[in-house]
Amino acid sequence: MIERIEGGVCAAKGFTASGVHCGIRKNRDKRDLSLIYSVCPATAAAVYTTNLVKGAPLAVTKAHLADGTARAVICNSGNANTCNANGVEIAEQTCELLAKELGIDAKDVVVASTGVIGQPMDIAPFAAGIPALVSSLSTEGSAMAAEGIMTTDTEMKEVAVAFQAGGKTCRLGGIAKGSGMIHPNMATMLVFLTTDAAISPKMLQKALSCDVTGTFNMLSIDGDTSTNDMVTVLANGLAGNAAIDAEGEDFTAFMEALNSVTVALCRMIAGDGEGATKLLECTASGAKDLETARTVAKSVICSSLLKAAMFGADANWGRVLCAIGYSGADVDVNRVDVSFRSAAGTVEVCRNGAGVPFSEEEAKRVLLEKEIEILVGLGDGGYGASAWGCDLTYDYVKINGDYRT
């Protein structure tokens, strides 16, 4: 039983959060520094971008999480702290300043940055902002923290659930930033998760690593894998459940709760992709194995041509077939079925690799909705997978034609 609840990263017991404007961004109305804090030590796990060019904060976070514990997450927007001369130094100083203010060990701080790559970074705004950031920590602070990590996002992204483990009610929630340079591989954009479930560092990492392969790694806005992607989860154990330290019923319950939160965040990130007007979800079923299902679903969601067609509400299913054909998956294209589905109905457009007659008007009505499912049947087995993306629009071009200036 997983129940959706309010509170984002503060839904779990013992977590507070805040977000302030510290001066990294010029616009004083935009928060640019966020904090998540656990009143007691928490086990922690993370996954990181596979990009060889990595943001400096990732190296610092990785070192800090080597012991599997953390108490605080600090993240700025407006500057990626990547490909500059003093990145690691700034990230370390940030952790030290925060640790001093909170009275904790700097090694218990997770640090992250998002924004433009290759810009000089200064410690001054952090030094100026951290006291206010700490003093404004609150159990109501999730939304402020979610706001502080936004870049070109148009909507704040937070979600939380309650679930049962070992007879206790546990909570798990998260915030995310998405929008552009999103094509995670092994990790993703920035996602910060908190839970009051008690779980060992090893099982927490296992749960997270396993989950991202079917969630954030199946998400693409523009095919560009960022240098700063990170998903991190802190578990402080205040729910009082017997610590989850092996596979079993409780671990399964935890995995299900985690998945419900990460899928919800994936959908939010995809639907709020840069310039997006539509959330696209491709579900490939009937695959001979999971890898094939995932490869097909992700290839479809990444096709620029299909993304543009969806923007135009054009049922150009040939582009779905084309994307399946070049995906690299071993499929029999003569068995492929394709339908489009939305709140307005379902329209079948292709059966056994060839077109079937359909009403263009009905297809238009289905595709004019905000959330579109592309259903691909492979007729070759029992495996399935979903991938999430968005349409390609004029605004994507506009946002990225002059993002930096």
Please identify every residue annotated as catalytic.
Answer: 188
**Residue in this structure with the two tokens 């966020």, named with its chain if needed:** 34
Q: Work out the burial of residue 334: count CB atoms within 10 Å of its CB; fewer than 13 is exposed, 13-18 middle, 19 or more buried.
A: exposed
Strands of the sheet containing 371-377, edge to edge, are 354-355, 345-351, 337-342, 371-377, 279-287, 383-390
Kindly indicate which of the ranges 60-68, 154-162, 380-388, 392-400 contains the residues binding a second copy, using the contact rule CB under 8 A.
392-400
Task: For residues 305 and 268, give the distance between their C-alpha atoms in angstroms, rounded to a whole number.
Answer: 22
Kindly indicate which of the ranges 29-37, 80-88, 204-212, 240-248 contains the residues binding a second copy, using the contact rule CB under 8 A.
80-88
In the bound state with a second copy, the residue whose beta carbon lies nearer, of 15 and 396, is: 396
Task: For residues 49 and 33, give the distance between their C-alpha atoms in angstroms, rounded to a whole number.
Answer: 21
Please pick, from the candidates 62, 68, 88, 119, the single residue that binds a second copy as defined by CB under 8 A.
119
In the bound state with a second copy, the residue whose beta carbon lies nearer, of 52 and 66, is: 52
Q: Kindly state whether residue 36 participates in binding a second copy, applying the rule CB under 8 A.
A: no
In the bound state with a second copy, the residue whose beta carbon lies nearer, of 235 and 287, is: 287
* Dihedral-angle region of residue 298 (phi above 0 means left; psi in -120 to 50 means alpha; beta otherwise): alpha
In the bound state with a second copy, the residue whose beta carbon lies nearer, of 64 and 319, is: 319
Helix, strand, or coil (residue 267): helix
Q: What angle do CA 86, 88, 93 make, to 5 degrees?
A: 95
CB of 392 to a second copy, least distance (A): 6
Please pick, from the candidates 223, 248, 345, 382, the single residue that binds a second copy as defined by CB under 8 A.
223
In the bound state with a second copy, the residue whose beta carbon lies nearer, of 18 and 393, is: 393
x/- track of binding to a second copy for residues 360-389 (CB under 8 A): x-----------------------------
346 pairs with which residues across the strands? 341
Radius of gyration of the chain measured on its C-alpha atoms: 21
Q: Kindly state whether residue 301 participates in binding a second copy, applying the rule CB under 8 A.
A: no
User: For binding to a second copy (CB under 8 A), which residues are involved?
Assistant: 50-54, 80, 82-85, 116-120, 180-181, 183, 185, 222-227, 302-305, 308-309, 311-312, 314-319, 321-326, 331, 333, 350, 353-355, 360, 392-394, 396-405
